């Protein structure tokens, strides 16, 4: 797992693909604030397979980011590569009300 | 001095069901069906006794008899209230509990043995004993007696990852349950430490003193300590801080708000405490206002792969809050 959080944006004709890496906490703030501005299509797919721990601060940042993408960019947010912990956490905190899992 | 316990239940069926689980304290217990409550209260008055603890079924309160706790609190102002609920019943709404200052909830009193081979030593009987003795739960209560408790004094925010790694290191094994317990433990430790380092320190007007993510040195007088132990079946952990800035009402409001309204984005909203409640099998919180807060609980290996949907809590204070 990488020490510092980062996001790699891979452009595709049909949708935006982002690979997230590292733990998601307060240190991911800058990246997740900037992400909605980079969405170019009506669908963004976020790959969590290289994400480690996500704490409550990280959940708050993800909720805000996904809501902005949904409301301001009118884009669909799809989550992939979620492990069991991510899934439990997202169910508990309402992330799945804004973003869908690809499973 | 032994303290009396009043148990108020819906009907004879519920009474029969709960009786065996109250055997360890049977000599202290007055068990009544709601229809006989006045009689039981008269008995307490005649004998000039006051129940230290009142146990009420969620089949009676808050939905069926919303004024029940207020009536009992008016009669016995110093008594603690413990609600018991079955996981097959609807989870009680938290707002009435906040209003009526109810701080203890046990789900499935017949289950939740602290140790698998001693089912009679349940979380329920443990909670009864602790509350009626005016004590709070500690992580020692969840672990086998010979389990080593690690304690780390926190002097800097930089210690967080090192502490989490140390906790992960004591959960040995390669199975998927162990891996999930390790991940749950890491998340819980993260939330507990963030809470003690950044959320607990407050100004007089309750505003936060420190911004999350900023490195900070923690003076000795803040008395932040993180404790954990793993006995092979149960992971127990707690964090202590010297601020005592939470209150039972605020804790339950955080639980209620996050449970009812997922899309709240305000980070002052106690999402961290809510996650602790949801990811621990049982949470205990002890508050000595202005002096100390302890937030802790346990997770069992057998529950690591899923989240128990309906959770209890145990909130105690050193004086009336």
Segment B68-100, tens digit of pLDDT:
999 999 999 989 999 999 888 899 999 999 999
Contact present, B187 and A53 (Cβ < 8 Å):
yes
What is the average per-residue pLDDT within B297-312? 87
Q: What is the pLDDT of residue B115?
A: 47
Angle A11-A17-A20 (CA atoms, 0-180°, nearest 5)? 125
Structure tokens at B160: 């967080």
Contact list in B for residue A91 (CB cut-off 8 A) is: 307
Cβ-proximal residues to B8 (8 Å cutoff; 6+ apart), any chain: B32, B33, B34, B37, B40, B54, B55, B56, B57, B60, B68, B72
**Cβ density class B245-254: b for 16+ within 10 Å, e for less:** bbebebbbbb
Instruction: Give residue B267's pLDDT.
Output: 53
Is A94 close to B262, i.e. CB distance below 8 A?
yes
Q: Is the model's pLDDT at A91 over the cut of 80?
A: yes
Helix (H, G, I), strand (E, B) or coil at B290: coil
Tell whether the model's pLDDT for residue A40 goes beyond 70. Answer: yes
DSSP B197-265: IIIS-B-TTS-BSS-TTS--B--GGG--EEEEEE-SSEEEEEEEES-----HHHHHHHHHHHHH-TT--
Question: Which residues is A9 bridged to in the sheet?
Answer: A18
* C-alpha distances out from residue B267 to A33, A58, A61, Å: 15, 10, 9
% of chain B at pLDDT higher than 90: 65
pLDDT band per the 50, 70, 90 thresholds, residue B1:
very low
CA of B77 vs chain A CAs: smallest distance (Å): 36
What integer is the mean pLDDT of B21-48?
87
Checking if the pLDDT of B155 tops 90, the result is yes
Mean pLDDT (chain B) is 89
B186 to chain A: which residues are within 8 Å by CB?
53
Does A89 reach chain B within 8 Å, measured CB to CB?
yes
Region of residue A74 (phi > 0: left; psi between -120 and 50: alpha; otherwise: beta): left
Q: What average pLDDT does the segment A2-20 reach?
A: 85
- pLDDT recorded at residue B111: 64
Quote the CA–CA distance of B54 and B70 in Å, as a whole number: 12
- What band does B19 get if pLDDT is binned at 50, 70 and 90? confident
Q: How far is CA B97 from CA B66, B313, B318, in A?
A: 10, 12, 20
Can you give the pLDDT at residue B2? 54
Selection from B54, B57, B85 nearest residue B72 by Cα: B54
What is the predicted pLDDT for the residue at B94? Answer: 93
Label residue B132 by pLDDT band (50, 70, 90). Answer: confident
* CA nearest to A93 within chain B: B262
């Amino acid at each position: 797992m990488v020490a510092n959080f980062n996001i790699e944006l891979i452009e595709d004709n049909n949708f935006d693909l982002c690979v997230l890496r590292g733990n998601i906490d307060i240190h991911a703030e800058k990246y997740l604030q900037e992400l909605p501005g980079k969405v170019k299509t009506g669908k963004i797919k976020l790959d969590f397979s290289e994400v480690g721990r996500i704490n409550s601060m990280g959940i708050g940042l993800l909720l805000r980011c996904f809501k902005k993408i949904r409301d301001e960019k009118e884009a669909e947010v799809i989550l992939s590569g979620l492990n069991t912990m991510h899934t439990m956490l997202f169910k508990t905190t309402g992330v799945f009300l804004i973003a869908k899992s690809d499973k | 001095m032994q303290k009396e316990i009043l148990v108020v239940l819906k009907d004879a069926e519920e009474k029969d069901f709960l009786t065996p689980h109250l055997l360890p304290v049977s000599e202290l217990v007055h068990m009544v069906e709601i229809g006989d409550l006045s009689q039981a209260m008269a008995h307490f008055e005649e004998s000039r006794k006051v129940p230290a603890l009142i146990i009420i079924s969620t089949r009676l309160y808050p939905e069926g008899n919303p004024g029940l706790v207020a009536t009992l609190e008016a009669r016995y102002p110093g008594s603690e209230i413990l609600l018991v609920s079955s996981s097959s019943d609807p989870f009680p709404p938290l707002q009435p509990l906040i209003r009526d200052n109810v701080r203890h909830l046990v789900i499935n009193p017949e289950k939740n043995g602290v140790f698998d081979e001693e089912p009679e030593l349940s979380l329920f009987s443990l909670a009864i004993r602790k509350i009626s003795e005016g004590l709070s739960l500690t992580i020692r209560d969840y672990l086998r007696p010979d389990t080593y408790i690690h304690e780390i004094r926190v002097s800097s925010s930089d210690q967080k990852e090192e502490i989490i790694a140390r906790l992960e290191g004591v959960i040995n094994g390669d199975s998927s349950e162990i891996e999930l317990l390790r991940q749950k433990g890491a998340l819980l430790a993260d939330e507990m430490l963030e809470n003690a380092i950044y959320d607990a320190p407050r100004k007089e007007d309750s505003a936060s003193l420190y911004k999350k993510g900023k490195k900070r040195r923690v003076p000795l007088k803040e008395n932040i300590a993180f404790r954990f132990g793993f006995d092979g079946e149960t992971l127990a952990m707690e964090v202590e801080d010297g601020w005592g800035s939470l209150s039972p009402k605020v804790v339950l409001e955080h639980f209620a708000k996050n449970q009812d309204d997922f899309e709240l984005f305000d980070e002052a909203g106690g999402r961290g405490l809510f996650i602790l409640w949801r990811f621990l099998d049982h949470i205990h919180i002890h508050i000595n206002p202005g002096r100390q807060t302890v937030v802790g609980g346990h997770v069992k290996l057998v529950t690591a792969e899923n989240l128990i949907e309906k959770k209890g809590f145990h909130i105690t204070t050193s004086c009336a809050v």
